[in-house]
């Protein structure tokens, strides 16, 4: 069978699938890429927690990421314990790169001189793939460590397989070593697909040609939620998504405290003034293998609520597939969302959403959608202003509902538009 006739094979990297928001991106990517390359397209997804990911998402095939894992050898563990873990990763990168060249030169068996049998199989996945796609989302920011991603991209470029960055938010890149690394990586990639103009500016700032950059909506917007949800009878139901501010408070505990007190104030106002039922339900919950669970912060907030409010508030702890989260949000009249994908899946569900921005990505999304009045910011929110914003939305809920149902069709079309920016393989 010729290469053009056989089913395409696509490798997806740098994903953290135990965050169900990332799993929603993956679901959307599968749909978009199958529409572009064929329904029989095969995917291999590289995840740092591949064993758990295979357990929770049986609809995808996961392998362990090549970089960013704890060293297995005795000497590797010793070097890491002494603070020289970066040397373990550098040596690993060189070994994997040599193995990839062996496979390309049709002497792949010699790769076993440099890497394990399992690693050689993973290297073969990269080398023999038609395309490597770095997942969509938000992970290329200096709030997180970037060297694991950089090594993965450099390795991908060594394999000779085209590299695409799927629709995401990234930057800014301020540290010289990051700027140098990503300038080279982006220049040698086929395309960088972004969710917002600010990210585009961050890439252009590196001197990358504008022709390599495409703008579109998040891949999760292609998820199908059916027609307009029926009107919800009975009392007002509000879902709340929270998240820890660990990476974003820059050592200032007052920001996290202000955030929690503002969320609590909205919950109290919803219960006391609107007789609402409030449920904490987020996109990061119910997976003990993941480093965080939003129900922990939800428990903190609920434990501090007044006695008359507590009985109307519950913490949902159930793990859900991305499509199940959409279905769950359809059972509410409003979602207060800190998680970006709690907001996106609410919009997919056709449910009005009050967004809480802890990074610029949600600010950019809501601005694009003409929803600035439905957004708060963790850097500026106060209990008083948060209540005022909530009251404004509740007073005009039907208009917001109609707006959201209209917007989700536009967002789906914009998310699908990346098909035209992908390479022929």
Over residues 355-380, the pLDDT tens digits come to 999 999 999 999 999 999 999 999 99
Tell me the pLDDT band of 160, cut-offs 50, 70 and 90.
very high
CATH 2.30.30 is the classification of domain 9-215: no
Q: Among 10-24, 107-121, 179-193, 225-239, whose mean pLDDT is lowest?
A: 225-239
For residue 120, pLDDT over 70 is answered with yes
Tell me the pLDDT band of 78, cut-offs 50, 70 and 90.
low
DSSP reduced 3-state for 167 = strand
Tell me the pLDDT band of 2, cut-offs 50, 70 and 90.
low
For residue 389, pLDDT over 60 is answered with yes
Bridge partners, residue 357, by sequence: 377
User: What span, in angstroms and rounded, lies between the C-alpha atoms of 248 and 121?
Assistant: 38
Contact 134, 182 (CB under 8 A): no
Mean pLDDT across the chain: 93
Tell me the pLDDT band of 310, cut-offs 50, 70 and 90.
very high
The mean pLDDT of 47-58, rounded to a whole number, is 98
pLDDT at 224: 84
User: What span, in angstroms and rounded, lies between the C-alpha atoms of 335 and 353?
Assistant: 5
Give the model confidence (pLDDT) of 311-360 as tens digits.
999 999 999 999 999 999 999 999 999 999 999 999 999 999 999 999 99
**CA quadruple 202, 204, 208, 210: dihedral positive or negative?**
positive
Q: 5 vs 175, which has greater pLDDT?
A: 175
Contact 348, 225 (CB under 8 A): yes
The mean pLDDT of 251-258, rounded to a whole number, is 81
Determine if residue 137 is left, alpha or beta; phi over 0 gives left, psi from -120 to 50 gives alpha, anything else beta: left
DSSP type of residue 143: T
DSSP reduced 3-state for 42 = strand
Which CATH number is 237-412's, of 3.40.50.150, 3.50.50.60, 3.10.310.30, 3.40.50.2000? 3.40.50.2000
The CATH 3.40.50.2000 portion of the chain extends over 237-412
Q: 412 vs 73, which has greater pLDDT?
A: 412
The mean pLDDT of 391-415, rounded to a whole number, is 96
The mean pLDDT of 380-392, rounded to a whole number, is 97
For residue 74, pLDDT over 90 is answered with no
pLDDT at 88: 85
Tell me the pLDDT band of 187, cut-offs 50, 70 and 90.
very high
Between the CA atoms of 224, 228, 234 and 235, what dihedral angle is there, to the nearest 10 degrees? Answer: 70
Which residue matches tokens 């139901």? 237
User: What span, in angstroms and rounded, lies between the C-alpha atoms of 21 and 365?
Assistant: 15
pLDDT at 47: 98
Q: Is the pTM of this model over 0.85?
A: yes
């Amino acid at each position: 069978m010729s290469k053009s006739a056989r089913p395409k094979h696509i490798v997806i990297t740098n994903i953290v699938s135990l965050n169900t928001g990332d799993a929603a991106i993956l679901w959307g990517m599968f749909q978009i890429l199958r529409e572009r390359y064929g329904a029989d397209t095969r995917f291999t997804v590289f995840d740092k927690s591949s064993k758990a990911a295979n357990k929770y998402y049986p609809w995808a095939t996961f392998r362990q990421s090549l970089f960013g894992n704890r060293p297995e050898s005795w000497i590797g563990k010793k070097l890491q314990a002494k603070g020289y873990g970066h040397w373990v990763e550098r040596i690993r990168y060189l070994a994997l790169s040599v193995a990839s060249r062996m496979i390309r030169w049709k002497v792949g068996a010699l790769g076993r001189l440099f890497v394990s049998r399992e690693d050689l199989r993973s290297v073969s996945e990269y080398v023999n793939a038609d395309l490597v796609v770095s997942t969509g989302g938000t992970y290329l920011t200096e709030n997180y460590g970037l060297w694991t991603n950089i090594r993965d991209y450099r390795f991908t470029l060594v394999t000779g397989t085209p590299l695409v960055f799927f629709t995401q938010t990234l930057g800014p890149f301020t540290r010289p070593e990051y700027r140098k690394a990503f300038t080279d990586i982006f220049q040698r990639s086929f395309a960088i697909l972004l969710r917002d103009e600010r990210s585009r500016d961050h890439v252009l700032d590196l001197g990358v040609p504008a022709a390599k950059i495409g703008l579109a909506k998040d891949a999760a917007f292609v998820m199908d939620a059916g027609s307009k949800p029926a009107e919800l009878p009975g009392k007002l139901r509000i879902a709340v998504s929270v998240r820890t501010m660990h990476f974003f408070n820059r050592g200032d505990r007052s920001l996290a405290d202000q955030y929690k007190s503002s969320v609590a104030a909205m919950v109290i106002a919803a219960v006391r003034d609107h007789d609402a039922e409030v449920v904490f339900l987020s996109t990061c919950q119910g997976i003990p293998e993941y480093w965080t669970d939003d129900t922990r912060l939800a428990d903190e907030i609920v434990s501090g609520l007044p006695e008359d409010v507590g009985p109307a508030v519950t913490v949902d702890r159930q793990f859900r597939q991305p499509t199940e989260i959409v279905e769950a949000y359809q059972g509410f009249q409003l979602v207060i969302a800190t998680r970006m994908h709690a907001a996106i899946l609410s919009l997919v569900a056709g449910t009005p959403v009050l967004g809480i921005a802890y990074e610029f990505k949600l600010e950019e999304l809501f601005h694009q959608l003409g929803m600035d009045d439905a957004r708060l910011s963790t850097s500026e929110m106060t209990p008083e202003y948060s209540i005022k914003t909530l009251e404004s939305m509740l007073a005009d809920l039907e208009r917001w509902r109609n707006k959201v149902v209209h917007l989700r069709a536009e967002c789906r079309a914009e998310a699908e538009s990346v098909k035209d920016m992908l390479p022929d393989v």
